[in-house]
């Protein structure tokens, strides 16, 4: 896994930065993608300076082209446009969707992604229940389990990546259709953060 290049499409946002930081810190080769190359370069430089490990900033298209594993950290409304732009670079690769749709959407974001991807792509869905603030705080382990849905070998790769983050355990949580459950769970966590005035309510499985 350590020689695979991980590309974060939409990696300039909160979750993308957080995952890039943690994965690069774990010595994974990481590329930040953006619609705007300069924006990607700025974020990549910030991360490189923070942890002393080289992170590259590219357009989303180039990030998808050079990467073996592509993590989608874009908002739900950007799915169609971004996949149309990068799909030619995804054949035979692994894609991981972190995308949370509006609450009670008819389809999960992962199923929407699946419909748009080339058939040769292996898709997993993961990282929905991790808060970006916890990822950005390198002083602390991340107290969260990661539920992973989708195809093999994408699920195995997503689990390996998630477990590079100190404190995280990751579990196979079934086929891509089950992603609806974990995506919607994020809305519950957002509600609980507000209700209890917390920043990092998260998910832990017990008994496993
Ligand atoms: N934030 C969290 O803690 C968290 C946790 C779990 C899951 N998620 C999910 O992860 C995804 C990313 O979350 P986020 O908070 O990082 O989002 P974000 O900051 O709003 O957006 C991430 C990046 O996506 C790009 N983007 C924004 N609007 C776009 C559009 N219409 N089309 C294409 N690209 C667009 C932007 O990059 P450029 O301008 O550089 O292209 C932006 O920096 C979301 O689907 C969210 O539901 C977030």
pLDDT in tens, 29-48: 999 999 999 999 999 999 99
**39 CA closest ligand 1 atom index:** 40
From 7, 8, 10, mutation site for ligand 1 pocket: most ligand atoms within 8 A of C-beta: 10
126: in domain: yes
In angstroms, the CA 172 to CA 126 distance is 10
The answer, yes or no, to whether any atom of ligand 1 lies below 6 A from the CB of 71, is no
Q: What is the pLDDT of residue 1?
A: 54
- In a domain, residue 201? The reply is no
Count other Cβ atoms within 10 Å, centred on residue 128. 27
Mutation pick for ligand 1 pocket among 9, 11, 14, 102 (CB with most ligand atoms within 8 Å):
14
- Which residue in this structure is represented by tokens 């695979």? 4
**Quick check: is 200 in a domain?**
no
Nearest to residue 138, comparing CAs of 12, 45, 11, 25? 25
Q: Is the pLDDT of residue 9 over 90?
A: yes
At 51, which CATH number?
A: 3.40.50.720
> What is the per-residue pLDDT for 199?
87
For residue 152, being part of any structural domain is answered with yes
Over residues 76-103, the mean pLDDT reads 98
How many domains is the chain partitioned into structurally? 1
Q: How confident is the model at residue 141 (pLDDT cuts 50, 70, 90)?
A: very high
pLDDT for 60-85, tens place per residue?
999 999 999 999 999 999 999 999 99
- Return the closest-CA partner of residue 10 out of 101, 97, 73: 73
Would residue 207 count as lying in a domain?
A: no
What pLDDT is stored for residue 3 in this prediction? 83
Domain span holding position 188: 5-195
The sign of the torsion formed by the CA atoms of 51, 56, 58, 62 equals negative
Look at residue 2 in the predicted model and tell me its pLDDT. Answer: 56
Mean pLDDT of all residues in the chain?
97
Distance 98 CA to ligand 1 centre (A): 9
d(CA 23, CA 25): 5
Examine residue 117 and state whether it is found in any structural domain, yes or no. Answer: yes
- Residue owning tokens 């290049």: 5
């Amino acid at each position: 896994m350590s020689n695979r290049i991980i590309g974060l499409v939409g990696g300039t946002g909160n979750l993308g930065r957080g995952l890039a930081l943690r994965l690069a810190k774990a010595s994974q080769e990481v590329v930040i993608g953006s619609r705007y190359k300069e924006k990607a370069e700025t974020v990549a430089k910030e991360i490189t300076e923070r942890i002393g490990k080289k992170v590259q900033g590219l357009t989303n298209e180039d990030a998808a082209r050079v990467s073996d594993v592509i993590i989608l950290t874009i908002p739900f409304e950007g799915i169609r446009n971004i996949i149309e732009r990068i799909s030619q670079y995804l054949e035979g690769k692994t894609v991981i969707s972190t995308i949370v749709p509006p609450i009670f959407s008819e389809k999960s974001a992962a199923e929407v992604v699946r419909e748009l991807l080339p058939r040769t792509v292996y898709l997993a869905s993961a990282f929905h229940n991790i808060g970006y603030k916890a990822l950005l705080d390198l002083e602390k382990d991340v107290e969260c389990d990661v539920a992973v849905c989708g195809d093999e070998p994408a699920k195995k790769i997503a689990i390996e990546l998630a477990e590079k983050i100190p404190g995280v355990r990751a579990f196979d949580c079934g086929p891509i259709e089950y992603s609806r459950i974990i995506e919607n769970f994020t809305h519950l966590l957002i509600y609980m953060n507000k209700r209890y005035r917390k920043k990092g309510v998260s998910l832990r499985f017990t008994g496993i």
